[in-house]
A = this chain, B = another copy of it.
Amino acid sequence: MSRATVSRVVNGVRNVAPDIQRSVRDAIARIGYTPNQAARSLVTRRTGTVALVLSATGRSFTARVFSDPFFGRVVDGVLPVLRRRAIQPVLLVAESEQARTQLVEYLRQGGADGALVVPLDENDPLPAMLMAAGLPTVLFGRPRDGEQCGFVDLDNAAGARLAAEHLWATGRRRPALIAAPVTAPTAGERLDGFMEALAAHGVTAVPVVRGRFTVDSGRRAMARLLKDHPRIDAVFAANDLMAQGACQYLREQGVAVPGTVAVVGFDDSVAARKARPQLTTVRQPVERMAAAMAGLLVEQLDGARSEPGAKVFEPVLVVREST
């Protein structure tokens, strides 16, 4: 029997007589034969692998990634899409300049067929590097000007406006903002959206403190706000973790939530339901976005589309107990 026949059986292409198929499979099982992926890749120019890259330019990278449920949601969204197509998902972390270079080299050399990139910081050079390397790439979040890669994104400004309008509608007139770190890709949009919506109501001065997307930074931010602006009656935090921290602090200080101060979060992560009181928050459908991101890449790899696609999701306000 020729190698070609075996290859046909293993890859399920063209017709092979059923009995021959069976005998081939038997032999494979008996010998414990495993096809060599390297040899296969060499000729197919495919690896059957897609990389999910978490990239950051700042420090304390892993501490951020492995304590924010956000990334787990991304993984949750991506996995089933890839598994369904028998594509092996591979998580890559790019925590430093050196790591980024090594990673691009690795992918260029055929480490994966494409990359799903989740940049933690704005101005991350990785997407541009991957595009330059000619690797099919889809981003979580809008690419910088000129970068022609696929992406999924949330209309962050709209989300922030939802929060602002809700606070205004419920009678809050002195809102404050716990903003995302300046370096976060979403920082600008969420801040601007919130401010604009309030400005439309004549509120021009809004106290702003930057947080770092962690519970602890939310506490500290809340402490600062309360000290500098004791009369605020609402807080919008750029993610749920910070909102949770804010709630904790307010509670400890005996400030009633939502009685005295209303709190709105962002993401609708598990933290929103765990916070006391449960958080009103802007829902970001991270899992669906991540699944769409994987879908766009797969389409591109299948050649279904030559141009990388894009998809923008609309946020929804989820009202719970904190407003």
Contact = CB atoms under 8 A, between A and B. Distances in A.
Interface in A81-113: 83, 86, 88-93, 95, 98-99, 102-103, 105-106, 108-111
Interface in A54-99: 62-63, 65-73, 75-76, 79, 83, 86, 88-93, 95, 98-99
Query: What range describes how many residues of A lie at the interface?
Result: 35 or more
Interface stretch (A19-27, A35-43, A302-310): A35-43
B91 A93 contact: yes
Copies of the protein in its oligomer: 2
A39 to B, nearest CB: 5
B36 A109 contact: yes
A98 B83 contact: yes
A16 interface: no
A316 B219 CA distance: 30
B270 A63 contact: yes
B73 A102 contact: no
A37 B113 CA distance: 13
A75 B66 contact: yes
Contacts of A88: 102-103, 106, 111
Nearest to A287: B62
Interface of A: 34-39, 41-42, 47, 49, 62-63, 65-73, 75-76, 79, 83, 86, 88-93, 95, 98-99, 102-103, 105-106, 108-111, 216, 270, 274
